[in-house]
Amino acid sequence: MRSSLYILLKSPKFMIGVCLLFVFFAFIVIYPMINTNDPLEMVNMRFQPPSSKNILGTDGFGRDVLLEMAHGTRTSLTVGVISGLIATTVGLIIGIFSGYRGGIVDEILSSLTNVFIVIPSFIILILVSVSIQAKSVFIIAIIIGLTSWPWTARAVRAQTVSLRNRDHVNLARISGFNTVKIIVFEILPYIMSYVVMAFIIQLASGILSEASVSMLGLGPSNTISLGIMLNWALLQEAPLFNAWWTLIPPALTVALITFSFYLINLGMDEIFNPKIRS
Amino acid sequence: MLAGCGSKSNTKSADVENTTKTGETTTEKTQNEKTAAENKTDDLRKETLFITGLEWGPPSSFNYFTGVASFPVNNQNNMLVYETLFMYNGLSGEIEPLLAESYKWIDDYTIEVKLDKRAYFNDGEPVKIEDVIYTYELGKRYDILWSSLWTYIDSVESKSDDTIIFKLNKKDYNILAVTESLTNVPIHPKHIWEKIEKDANYDISEINKFFNESPVASGSYKIYSYDDTKITLVRDDNYWGKSKFGKLPAPKYITHILFKSNDAASLALKRGDLDYSQNFIPNVWKMWEDGAEVRTYLEEAPYYLSDSMPSIYFNLSKPGLDNPDVRRAIAYAIDYKKIIDIAMNGYSDVVEPALTVNNELESKYIDKDAIKPYQWKYDVDKANEILDSIGAKKGDDGIRVLPNGVRLGPWKLECPYGWTDWNATLEIIQQSAKKIGIELETYFPEDTVYENDRNTGNFDIVMSTPADVITPAQPWKRAHDILSAKELPPFGEQAYWNFGRYKNERAEKILELIPAEKDIERLRKLYTELTIIYLKDIPTIPLMYRPTYFFTVNESVWTNFPHENDGTGIPPYCFDGAGIKSLYNLKNK
């Protein structure tokens, strides 16, 4: 375990990812403490360029972009974590169950998974978002989570199938352990590393999905997120006024946060997958 | 996307199936023309006036019967294809002749209209008295845009072969509605529509299916082609009005481009791909500062002439919102200056609450000193004072609760998604209300959802513009749309005015008296009393002044558009009412 941690800390990819993330965390925790205003408050005229009063200028509503960024990043991360958790849990349960049980259960669950893989999840996401009226951050996160589990399920199923007939699993089965116990104690530990990495990827793609849905104007209402900021900037014709400060910071933040998660994921891959360890 | 654009009814897709069928053949036609046209693009550009902002979706039909037909048949006073007897000039308040030569009052209940004998339809048939009578009487037989007129008219008869007599209803006496009809009943050729009616077995739903691809009408333009991205009109060089106006309108083609969003339209205008826009354009001055040959009607702020008042309507059946003091507190809490500065880009003066717009045409009807004590302005302390005085105490969450236990919110503040100026306005109101302990949530659904919610009363607070039309019947029409409960469909059914279902008997009575009155002094008294009732009860809160049409042009191809001090007296819009006169003055640069 200690050596794993050591390898991780030595991995530049992992460390860059973690540092980047840490910067963002520090920003969303500390900045709202310094500037305790309501991020939705219109403090200045619209599309004011960066100045000492508004460090990142104001958006099309005359709101402070930097403060919005702090709250928006928080919302985006929340959506990412919740949707990532949901997607990973659902994918894990369906994957393990269908892989371990096999037979007709496997057939049904696999075809369900395949159906969801074939239908682009983003389309489902849009359709569901359109049909729901009052959208809280939590509901958006659930919708994203519930539409992005199939890949996890498929990968977990494949790993479970290969584990199912290992000796220690057979031994447990002969000893009379029930299915739940076997799954939890004999199978889960072997795929845990994969699951953690899948969660990180799901988290990152959850943030991207929220940004995409919100950019289409289907995001959570009465709150602020990075996607919503981009959506309003485009609707209010920010490019026409060269108001780059309303577009570039949120876009860059979405990109950097997801990038840092992917870097962490890559770094962890090096421990769990010795073949590519440098 | 589109900035708040008035009240269209929501049955646009009524005969979509029919549309697609007829649409196919036209698309083919357009493509052929396109290849031929590519060779002489430059000439074509100079002959074509590119416009936007009058139509938002692909053409659904050019049939007035449907009530939701597309440009250039979308507004009753759009004169390009179908013409009316007179055209209203929203700048001077005058009624100018078009198909008719003149009108006069014979007595209080009779108007005599003299038809212009030169007029003929684009199939060569003359415009006759029979066509006018036929068109008016269509409203009697079917439920169409000018049906309600028959409440106020007893009969339309011919007196001689060029004179028509309109007899007004003595009981439901309304001068305004009848004069308005002279400017907004599009005259249909009897010989064409009689057949269509007969073929449809006099069934309105069958008549509605008629797409009317190439309308026979008396106007200066004909439908040339259309598809999902644009509608093109071609000038009728044989137009009868050549003798009336002395010449033909300058542009050979008028192409209305159907943009998907406002920003695309703004960019096109800035680049000069578009000559005329009726869209809301944020920070319009940036366009000329950046060197584009763009200008607005007024040279300086507020850039546009305002003639309407976007407002919020309260649903008066909701507990809490049914309390006039709560509504008054909200009225005091709203930061109107911020709405003008941020949402409206300064294109308006701060609104003075009343039923009238602050222009000369309307303010002459109001005794400003008499209504002053009832008017509100931005004053958070006063708003808090009102709420304190009715015993609304703040709960732990900072939101007030009335003594009867009704929590002040959360109420939804609704307007369509993508009407950015309106979206921003409602965001400001939400923030304003928060400061006095009232919880509002903005809600921006799609257009059609919004219209349905608004009309059926499925809302808490909804933004809409009362009587968003330029007509000689203002400001009565606006007052009516805000206050009248007469023949108003109940909650759950489609209503097109008084969305919050306000009811007041005295107001109703005054609304009946005004249209029967010609004396300005008595009118002033009535309007002032009505305004005071309105200011006491607050069924709506006006938020800003706004032009019905934002008039912005790019003069890199066409010049000589109407201008503040150009001396022509042509109002700042090119396609409705007397605004079409501007088309005759346009010149290529």
Confidence at residue B35, expressed as pLDDT on a 0 to 100 scale: 56
- Residue A162 CA to residue A95 CA, distance in Å, equals 12
Q: What is the mean pLDDT of each run of 10 residues along chain B (589 residues)?
A: 38 36 44 54 88 87 87 84 92 91 91 93 93 93 88 91 92 88 92 93 90 93 93 94 92 91 85 91 87 90 89 95 95 94 88 90 90 94 95 91 91 89 92 93 86 92 91 90 90 90 93 89 93 95 91 93 88 90 92
Partner-chain contact B282 A62, CB within 8 Å: no
Q: Does A221 touch chain B (CB under 8 A)?
A: yes
- Whether residue B12 is contained in a domain is answered as no
- Residue B418 CA to residue B200 CA, distance in Å, equals 39
What are the pLDDT digits (tens) for A203-233? Answer: 999 999 999 988 888 888 888 999 999 999 9
- Whether residue B58 is contained in a domain is answered as no
Confidence at residue B2, expressed as pLDDT on a 0 to 100 scale: 42
User: Is the separation of the CB atoms in B269 and B554 below 8 Å?
Assistant: yes
Q: In chain A, whose CA is at the least distance from the CA of B419?
A: A235
- Residue A121 CA to residue A206 CA, distance in Å, equals 12
- Whether residue A271 is contained in a domain is answered as no
Q: Give residue A236's pLDDT band: very low, low, confident or very high (50, 70, 90).
A: confident
> How many other C-beta atoms can be found within 10 angstroms of the C-beta atom of residue A3?
8
- Whether residue A152 is contained in a domain is answered as yes
Confidence at residue B324, expressed as pLDDT on a 0 to 100 scale: 94
Count of domains forming chain A: 1
Query: Closest by alpha carbon to B76, among B220, B233, B183, B152?
Result: B183
Kindly list the residues from chain B whose CB atom is less than 8 angstroms away from the CB atom of residue A237: 262-263, 266, 282, 420
- Whether residue A250 is contained in a domain is answered as no
Query: Closest by alpha carbon to A220, among A132, A127, A148?
Result: A132
Kindly list the residues from chain B whose CB atom is less than 8 angstroms away from the CB atom of residue A232: 420
Q: Does A223 touch chain B (CB under 8 A)?
A: no
Which residue in the set B283, B342, B345 is minimally distant from A42, CB to CB?
A: B342
Partner-chain contact A217 B427, CB within 8 Å: no
- Whether residue A230 is contained in a domain is answered as no
User: Is the separation of the CB atoms in A195 and A151 below 8 Å?
Assistant: no
**What element of type H or E holds B523?**
helix B520-537
- Whether residue A101 is contained in a domain is answered as yes
- Residue B10 CA to residue B213 CA, distance in Å, equals 22
Confidence at residue B23, expressed as pLDDT on a 0 to 100 scale: 40
Query: Closest by alpha carbon to A47, among A235, A256, A251?
Result: A235
What are the pLDDT digits (tens) for A12-37? Answer: 889 999 999 999 999 999 999 998 88
- Here the CATH number for the domain that contains residue A121 is 1.10.3720.10
Token pair, residue B18, equals 């029919």
- Whether residue B283 is contained in a domain is answered as no
- Here the CATH number for the domain that contains residue B143 is 3.90.76.10
- Whether residue B27 is contained in a domain is answered as no
Q: In chain B, whose CA is at the least distance from the CA of A219?
A: B444
Taking only residues 68 to 97 of chain A, the set having a beta carbon closer than 8 angstroms to any beta carbon of chain B reads: none
What are the pLDDT digits (tens) for A176-210? Answer: 888 888 888 888 888 888 888 899 999 999 999 99
Confidence at residue A131, expressed as pLDDT on a 0 to 100 scale: 81
Cα dihedral value B454, B455, B456, B460, nearest 10: 20
- Whether residue A208 is contained in a domain is answered as yes
Q: Does A38 touch chain B (CB under 8 A)?
A: yes
Nearest-CA distance from B292 to chain A in Å? 13
> Which residue range is the domain that position A83 belongs to?
78-223
- Whether residue B456 is contained in a domain is answered as yes
Mutate to test the interface with A, among B262, B280, B287, B342 (most CBs of A within 10 A): B342
Confidence at residue A262, expressed as pLDDT on a 0 to 100 scale: 92
Which residue in the set B282, B338, B430 is minimally distant from A236, CB to CB?
A: B282
- Whether residue B443 is contained in a domain is answered as yes
Mutate to test the interface with A, among B281, B336, B423, B444 (most CBs of A within 10 A): B423
Confidence at residue B468, expressed as pLDDT on a 0 to 100 scale: 83
Confidence at residue A200, expressed as pLDDT on a 0 to 100 scale: 92
User: Is the separation of the CB atoms in B4 and B421 below 8 Å?
Assistant: yes
Positive or negative CA dihedral for B362, B364, B368, B371? negative
Which residue in the set A41, A134, A217 is minimally distant from B417, CB to CB?
A: A217
Q: Does A158 touch chain B (CB under 8 A)?
A: no
Confidence at residue B196, expressed as pLDDT on a 0 to 100 scale: 93
Partner-chain contact A222 B266, CB within 8 Å: no
Partner-chain contact B267 A217, CB within 8 Å: no
Confidence at residue B39, expressed as pLDDT on a 0 to 100 scale: 58
User: Is the separation of the CB atoms in B525 and B494 below 8 Å?
Assistant: no
Percent of chain A with pLDDT over 70: 96
Q: Is residue B325 domain-shared with residue B186, that is, in the same domain?
A: no
- Whether residue A141 is contained in a domain is answered as yes
Which residue in the set A41, A45, A221 is minimally distant from B443, CB to CB?
A: A221
> Which residue range is the domain that position B129 belongs to?
86-190
Which residue in the set A61, A217, A239 is minimally distant from B427, CB to CB?
A: A61
Nearest-CA distance from A208 to chain B in Å? 22
Nearest-CA distance from B105 to chain A in Å? 51
Numbered residues of chain B with Cβ closer than 8 Å to any chain A Cβ = 1, 261-263, 266-267, 270, 282-283, 286, 338, 341-342, 345, 417-418, 420, 423-424, 427-428, 430-431, 434, 441-445
Confidence at residue B20, expressed as pLDDT on a 0 to 100 scale: 38
Q: Does A219 touch chain B (CB under 8 A)?
A: no
Which residue in the set A46, A234, A240 is minimally distant from B342, CB to CB?
A: A46
- Here the CATH number for the domain that contains residue B464 is 3.10.105.10
- Residue A256 CA to residue A252 CA, distance in Å, equals 6
Confidence at residue B14, expressed as pLDDT on a 0 to 100 scale: 35
Integer CA distances (angstroms), B146 to A27, A64, B158, in order: 62, 50, 19
Q: Give residue A2's pLDDT band: very low, low, confident or very high (50, 70, 90).
A: low
- Whether residue B362 is contained in a domain is answered as yes
Give ipTM to 2 decimals: 0.82
Confidence at residue B62, expressed as pLDDT on a 0 to 100 scale: 92
- Whether residue A32 is contained in a domain is answered as no
3-state helix, strand, coil in chain B (%, to 5): 35, 15, 50
- Which of B503, B524, B542 represents a domain boundary (last residue)? B542
Positive or negative CA dihedral for B438, B442, B443, B448? positive
The reported pTM is 0.82
- Residue B277 CA to residue B280 CA, distance in Å, equals 8
Count of domains forming chain B: 2
- Whether residue B399 is contained in a domain is answered as yes
Residue positions counted in chain B = 589
Kindly list the residues from chain A whose CB atom is less than 8 angstroms away from the CB atom of residue B421: none
